[in-house]
Amino acid sequence: MPTSKHFGDRLAQHVRQKNSSICVGLDPRWNSLPEALKQGVDVNDMRAVATATEVFCRAVIDAVASVTPIVKPQAAFFEQLGPAGMQALAGVIQHARQAGVLVLLDGKRGDIGSTAEGYADAYLGENSVWQCDALTVNPYLGDDTLVPFVERAVQRDAGIFVLVKTSNPGSGFLQDLLVGAQTVFQRMADLVESHAGNSQGDSGYGCVGAVVGATYPQQLAELRGRMPRAWILIPGFGAQGGSAADVLPGFDSSGTGAIVNSSRGIIFAYQQQQYSNLDWQEAVARAAADMAAQLALG
Amino acid sequence: MPTSKHFGDRLAQHVRQKNSSICVGLDPRWNSLPEALKQGVDVNDMRAVATATEVFCRAVIDAVASVTPIVKPQAAFFEQLGPAGMQALAGVIQHARQAGVLVLLDGKRGDIGSTAEGYADAYLGENSVWQCDALTVNPYLGDDTLVPFVERAVQRDAGIFVLVKTSNPGSGFLQDLLVGAQTVFQRMADLVESHAGNSQGDSGYGCVGAVVGATYPQQLAELRGRMPRAWILIPGFGAQGGSAADVLPGFDSSGTGAIVNSSRGIIFAYQQQQYSNLDWQEAVARAAADMAAQLALG
């Protein structure tokens, strides 16, 4: 579908073509899966659980693909199923790519140089083993540890999203600490912006982005201004408390530059009163379309 | 072998029984594997590469088991081989456990509450899918995100090692920032010590430990004093530049409380001049014994 290969540009194209800034988080918690898929599965048989999980994620992708530029599988929920879960993850990634949806693996990886290279080699780009379009990266180890991720992303037309300000209640414990006149998250934002600027594409955005939670709208507004060339992934919408008004400050003046993630709110939409009269897959499709429309109204 | 189940106590027992404080890092970079194991393997066949990688790691474990209380598989190098690599990782973990060696998975995982639970459920304890004795954890997301790991570790007689001060050149970018009168790593150390104290076993050490690089001996000395009840995992020995003198300050007055990791220096010892007259597995065994002796002399 896209003609450009640069990650920032591809994401911009997908957002434009689908007229949607939603990111659907694939967090396939077993207990929340539709009963129809769990029926007859022995929960001690990890292969069977992993297979049902993959079937669920593929069906979610099919249901949301028309309004979803990018999906975000959460690595933890696949790792939790052991090697069979990782096989399922590979199948889910492949299915999303075939459905014309970008894949951002939420692994929050981070390690020292040579090991960071290992992670970047593993996940980034269509010639890698896992073939992800992008990966979330944790910067605690230091600026030097981001370099292998950035280099691989540039070389392979892939992207990374660096944790800057996360959506959890305790994110301030470290991220809000004041160092001189700046917070830790502001320093991280400046580092991200520098990498984004050095990898800028035609869309104006680079292939290095930032994670900034919807639960901190004030910081989100400030960070949008501080990182004009970085895509922002905004988690924390819906189940975690962020509203459409809360995420608005994450977008640029032309209404782009951010993708807003919802996981439970979409993939388990059939548990919600308002969608309870629908088949589970229809509920998922409707919830994704509703969220996309909600954001478009902004 | 051990009678106690508490992770801190089990580690203490293993260290005492083997009279060794080494941790062997399993970083199976394909290019460095012995030629004999790579022969005839098609590098584009991930299943074959993963199988050879597993064979290598199992042989390393057999070679070092008598002098090694704990091994540390580096997740990145298994993830790099795709689903087949994760299958190999499962085999390596199982083999180490059968050989009477504790397993610390170096995954540097970290995420918000409910996802952190997923990682902790996945990796910690002998009833988990991966059955690791311990896991390295990244604290960037905040104090609240450590709680699920700590709780699972306590419940399941497993351990976690929280990144405090890492061994890479750029670790100071964030970890050394001065917040009031304290650095970021000192704050992290205080948090670790608090969790370690709350989970103290008979050995005096808790099930929550810290990662402190050998490449910063001054900080290591200070952090030993600051975290008297936390096991310290010291990476950065050998190939990264840390010497036996550098790691000495990481031990308590009775010569315990720390494990010192070496990866390349041991598992690829056959590439070193001094071991070049030995069969590869003998070289690995000799290097591990030499390192254990070097640390015991302290």
A87 contacts B140? CB cut-off 8 A:
no
Q: For residue B256, give the nearest of B277, B236, B234 by alpha carbon.
A: B234
- B151 contact partners, CB below 8 Å, separation of at least 6: B120
Q: Find the closest chain A residue to B176 by CA distance.
A: A142
CB B17 within 8 A of CB B215: no
Please answer yes or no on whether A140 and B138 come within 8 Å at the CB atom.
yes
Of A111, A143, A166, the CB nearest to B170: A143
Q: What confidence tens digit (pLDDT) does each residue in B244-273 have?
A: 999 999 999 999 999 999 999 999 999 999
- Cβ(A196)–Cβ(A252) below 8 Å: no
- What residues in A contact B80, CB-CB < 8 Å? 118-119, 121-122, 129
The contacts of residue A149 (CB under 8 Å, 6+ apart) are A116, A119, A120, A124, A135, A137, A160
Which A residues in the span 73-112 are in contact with B, Cβ-Cβ below 8 Å?
A: 74, 76-77, 79-83, 85-87, 89-90, 106, 108-112
* Mean pLDDT, residues A218-235: 97
Rounded CA gap, B156 and A49, in Å?
A: 23
- Residue identified by tokens 């299958």 is B87
> What distance in Å separates residue B189's CA from the closest CA in chain A?
12
**What does the domain layout of chain B look like in residue ranges?**
7-297
Q: Report the pLDDT averaged over residues B40-57.
A: 97
At B231 the three-state DSSP class reads coil
Cα separation of B143 and A166, whole Å?
A: 12
**Mean of pLDDT values over A81-90:** 98
Q: How confident is the model at residue B3 (pLDDT cuts 50, 70, 90)?
A: very low
CA neighbor of A214 nearest in space, from A205, A223, A206: A223
Distance, CA of A283 to CA of A281 (rounded, Å) = 5
Does residue A298 belong to the interface with chain B, where contact is any CB pair within 8 Å?
A: no
The pLDDT of residue A149 is: 98
ipTM of the complex: 0.96
Fold entry, domain B7-297: TIM Barrel (3.20.20)
Mutating which of A128, A138, A186, A192 best tests the B interface, going by the most B Cβ atoms within 10 A? A138
3-class DSSP state of B146: helix
Q: Does A151 touch chain B (CB under 8 A)?
A: no
For residue A290, give both structure tokens: 């509703």
Q: Are B109 and A108 in contact (CB < 8 Å)?
A: yes
**What pLDDT was estimated at residue A118?**
97
- Report the candidate in B11, B92, B24, B2 with the shortest Cα–Cα distance to residue B295: B24
Across B61-90, average pLDDT: 98
* Residue A142 falls in which region: left (phi positive, over 0), alpha (psi -120 to 50) or beta: left
Q: Quick check: B40 contacting A, CB < 8 Å?
A: no
Does the pLDDT at position A3 exceed 70?
Answer: no
- Token readout for B250 is 């990481």
How much is the pTM?
0.97
**Mean predicted confidence (pLDDT) in B234-241:** 86
Of residues A79, A171, A187, nearest to B119 (C-beta): A79
Q: What percent of chain A has a predicted confidence (pLDDT) above 70?
A: 98
Distance from CA of B16 to the nearest CA of A (A): 30
A–B CB contacts, 8 A cutoff, strictly below: 182
d(CA A222, CA A189): 10
A129, closest residue in chain B (CA to CA): B82
Q: The tokens of B39 are what?
A: 């022969």
- Contact (CB<8Å) A113/B168: yes
Residues of A in contact with B83 (CB under 8 A): 83, 86-87, 89-90
Name the token pair of B193.
């010590």
Report the pLDDT value the prediction gives residue B36, as an integer from 0 to 100.
96
Chain A 237-266, residues with CB within 8 Å of chain B CB atoms: none
Reply yes or no on whether the pLDDT at B233 is more than 60.
yes
**Catalytic one among A5, A18, A72, A108?**
A108
A108: nearest Cα among B142, B111, B160, B146:
B111
pLDDT for position B239:
75
Position A176: which residue type?
A: D
Q: Flag whether pLDDT at B241 surpasses 90.
A: no
> Distance (Å) from the C-alpha of residue A129 to the closest C-alpha of chain B?
6
Q: What is the mean pLDDT of residues B123-150?
A: 96
- Per-residue pLDDT of B137-188, as tens digits, reads 999 999 999 999 999 999 999 999 999 999 999 999 999 999 999 999 999 9
pLDDT band at B238 (very low <50, low <70, confident <90, very high): confident
Instruction: Write down the pLDDT at residue B298.
Output: 62
Residues 6+ away with beta carbon under 8 Å from A168: A213, A215, B112, B113, B141, B142, B144, B145
Angle, CA of B126, B132 and B137, to the nearest 5°? 130
**CB proximity A45 to B under 8 Å:** no
**Per-residue model confidence as pLDDT tens digits over A97-106:** 999 999 999 9
Question: Which residue, chain included where needed, has tokens 């408390």?
Answer: A241
Q: What is the pLDDT of residue B1?
A: 43
Q: Which pair of structure tokens corresponds to residue B1?
A: 């072998």
Looking at residue B181, the DSSP 8-state letter turns out to be T
pLDDT exceeds cutoff 50 at A2: no
Q: What is the pLDDT of residues A32-81, one digit of tens each?
A: 999 999 999 999 999 999 999 999 999 999 999 999 999 999 999 999 99
B10-31 burial, b if ≥16 CB within 10 A, otherwise e?
Answer: bbbbbbeebebbbbbbbbbbbe
Q: Structure tokens of A41?
A: 């599965």
Contact across the interface for B118 and A86, Cβ inside 8 Å: no
CA A42 to chain centre: 31
Phi, psi for A228 (deg, rounded to 5)? -65, -20
Tens-digit pLDDT profile for residues A131-181: 999 999 999 999 999 999 999 999 999 999 999 999 999 999 999 999 999
What would the mean pLDDT of A109-135 be, rounded to a whole number?
96
Q: Is the pLDDT of residue B104 over 50?
A: yes
Instruction: Name the residue in chain A with its Cα closest to that of B107.
Output: A109
Pairing of strands A258-262, A22-26: parallel
Kindly tell me if the per-residue pLDDT of B297 is higher than 80.
no
B contacts of A81 (beta carbons < 8 Å)? 129
Name the band, by pLDDT with cuts 50, 70 and 90, for residue B33: very high
Beta B70-73 vs B22-26: how paired, if at all? parallel
Q: Is A111's CB within 8 Å of B115's CB? A: no
Q: Which residues of B65-89 are buried (b: 16+ CB within 10 A; e: fewer)?
A: bebbbbbbbbbbbbbbbbbbbbbbb
Distance between CA B141 and CA B147 in Å, rounded?
12
**A108 counts as catalytic:** yes
CB < 8 Å from A in window 11-30 of B: 27, 29
Q: What is the pLDDT of residue A242?
A: 83
Alpha helices per DSSP H over chain B? 7-18, 35-38, 46-64, 75-79, 82-98, 113-123, 143-155, 172-175, 184-198, 217-226, 244-247, 264-267, 280-297
Confidence band of A228 (pLDDT split at 50, 70, 90) = very high
Could you tell me what percent of chain B has a pLDDT over 90? 94
Question: Is the Cβ pair A83, B79 closer than 8 Å?
Answer: no
